[in-house]
Structure 1
């Protein structure tokens, strides 16, 4: 399989996977509402999706250590699709939806960390760019977050589940062709151990910093549209702002490896945290249209720069057969636990303090997280400036 074809399969997987995610995230709540669920039930079902990312990736990463990534990614995409098919028969029953949601989220959480590990392995072998493969996921998210809205406007919420199901089946088909590298030791080889890595406190400072940085996004994902409309923006303008933010994310993924090569992982990391704090602070205190447009460009820092630097950091710290487990640990702690805590805290803070102070608190949280980041990056030989 040539390098272009291998890269093409990886790009296709990211595009299709994030097409499904782009259809799911904006319309999961409206679909649940259409099924007659109460606001409390919607909150519980949304949190179930987030918190499934805490334990599931670690279990799947551990299994990949023994079985390899290929069977788990294929199984995960296929059984996630089966979960969305099962939702068609839930008949609006809360318990049924909850159990199905826990099931499909458990399998969905298996795929992305393992594919990230596969992509990073491939990029290092081929002297290629992880970011230029990953950006196809962002493009897929844009395509279906907009496209699903069109489908729903034509056919109603009955288009929601079949649309996601289609892309998950496609993701399963594409997963059969990814350039996996077997990192499973033979029966005569000693298996590498996680214990020495886990004993390094710098790892836990890094994970805590990432958890807090992603938790600061909770108010953005849950309430940004409401906040912007409350300050005079139309629904169309808000939608364009979301799209603009993701386009800035795509741009950084395209050029980001060059930034990391020239500036080093610690500097890119630190800048992403400081700019994240700046972003939330500007939204809190200067919510006018001009400033909101300008700070939306900082999504390139708060998400893309953070994620790209983190993937390189994890890849260096968890080499070879440990990489899938390292990616799983990162996904579960940062996006699973951090995302879940951030969503719950944002809802409480919004009710108690209102939007302005909640965004201001998010800015302080991101800035505070940089203290732990500095501790995590101290004297780490794996993070020296390097050629990618």
Structure 2
């Protein structure tokens, strides 16, 4: 077990507790402040859009100055300063500025923490899943407890809850310390030359398509269930079921990766994703089918995420560790998530809710094709 395992787990718990609680309930907060649906859509899109910029900016600073923990702490204080804007002011412009500052700084924190973890593990990712799962646990615990607080005290208390979790994230960052880098006999290749490799481009195209497909869940799943007559209790239970499946996979993944390897498990995750989205699209009135599809979140998120992180180590390690994680976050979740959300929103309007999930299945199939090319080119090029 890595020496800082508890510190990493605590940071991820607090970070995803804040991110999950704010992203889940911010729409209700903005509506309460008089924002229109269109304005709320633009405000919430900043979470994805700033992932294109923030992780790369802070990943570069962390790698260039070799002070990852310092960058992590400073980003936390800056995010808290930006978040203070939600306690006063009621205009769209005011909230827009606060969302930009908050997400500019928080978007880089998870990749830097993961880069620290990977440096300390020195290529042995046996315990990666058991540490990363605490982020998922933080998400579900906080979202559940916050729902009780908001039910009792009202949505106006959301900024206080979310700010408290931001303070906890900063405190957790003070438990972490920088990890000495392994010395490399040769300097790392320039970042741009790495990104020009066809196998690297195919890898990032694959992960972006997979995340784009998952916006069918993150953005539309609750609305999809509600439109098909399911209660808020059932909707909440379905989300919880997915996160529990994700946590269980993270906990038990080490022997799977030792036996089968990242490439085979990546293919498995992508194949399961195609099936999962087809089941959701076809099973809108079959609760049993929807439950089975939700259990597949273990493969389509947790297994895919871990396989992606392990695949990244082939190209981005040592002095490029933080920027590799940042690129994964910004290309996959920033660009893939933003474009996927916009595209599927238009598709919902034109072709109906069920068809969104058939399109998501097609995106997963395209992702599998790109992953196949990436792995094939790696073998052919000797990388």
Smaller-chain TM-score range?
A: over 0.9
- Quote the Cα distance in structure 2 between the aligned partners of 1:382 and 1:78: 46
- Quote the Cα distance in structure 1 between the aligned partners of 2:181 and 2:103: 26
Structure-2 residue corresponding to 1:247: 244
Root-mean-square deviation over aligned CA pairs:
2.2
Structure-1 residue corresponding to 2:92: 94
- Return the match for 2:275 from 278, 282, 285: 278
The residue correspondences of 1:339-354 to structure 2 (distance < 5 A) are 339-354=337-352
Q: Per-residue CA shift, 1:179-217, capped at 9, x if unaligned?
A: 42144999xx96753244223111110101110110011
- Structure 1 stretches lacking a partner, 5+ long: none
SS of 2:220's equivalent in the other structure is helix
Residues 340, 184 of structure 1: alpha-carbon distance in 2 compared, 3 angstrom cutoff:
farther
- Quote the Cα distance in structure 1 between the aligned partners of 2:214 and 2:40: 19
Residue pair 2:118, 2:125 contacting (<8 A) in 1 also:
no
The residue correspondences of 1:139-158 to structure 2 (distance < 5 A) are 139-158=137-156
- TM-score (normalizing by structure 2): 0.94
Residue pair 1:269, 1:309 contacting (<8 A) in 2 also:
yes
- TM-score (normalizing by structure 1): 0.93
Residue pair 1:218, 1:345 contacting (<8 A) in 2 also:
no
* Residue 14 in structure 1 maps to residue 8 in structure 2: no
Q: Per-residue CA shift, 1:48-99, capped at 9, x if unaligned?
A: 221000022111111112222111111111211222222212x211111111
Residues 291, 54 of structure 1: alpha-carbon distance in 2 compared, 3 angstrom cutoff:
same
Residue 155 of structure 1 and its aligned partner are, at CA, apart by 0.9
Larger mean Cα displacement after TM superposition, 171-180 or 250-259: 171-180
- Return the match for 1:207 from 195, 204, 207: 204
Residue 232 of structure 1 and its aligned partner are, at CA, apart by 3.2
Residues 184, 126 of structure 1: alpha-carbon distance in 2 compared, 3 angstrom cutoff:
closer
SS of 2:292's equivalent in the other structure is helix
Residue 124 of structure 1 and its aligned partner are, at CA, apart by 3.0
Aligned length: 379
The residue correspondences of 1:1-388 to structure 2 (distance < 5 A) are 6-68=4-66, 69-89=68-88, 91-124=89-122, 128-183=126-181, 193-287=190-284, 288-380=286-378
- Structure 2 stretches lacking a partner, 5+ long: none
Residue 332 of structure 1 and its aligned partner are, at CA, apart by 0.3
- Quote the Cα distance in structure 1 between the aligned partners of 2:8 and 2:54: 23
- Quote the Cα distance in structure 1 between the aligned partners of 2:59 and 2:182: 12
Residue 15 of structure 1 and its aligned partner are, at CA, apart by 0.7
Residue 319 of structure 1 and its aligned partner are, at CA, apart by 1.4
- Quote the Cα distance in structure 1 between the aligned partners of 2:177 and 2:299: 29
Residues 335, 103 of structure 1: alpha-carbon distance in 2 compared, 3 angstrom cutoff:
same
SS of 1:316's equivalent in the other structure is coil
- Quote the Cα distance in structure 1 between the aligned partners of 2:11 and 2:17: 10
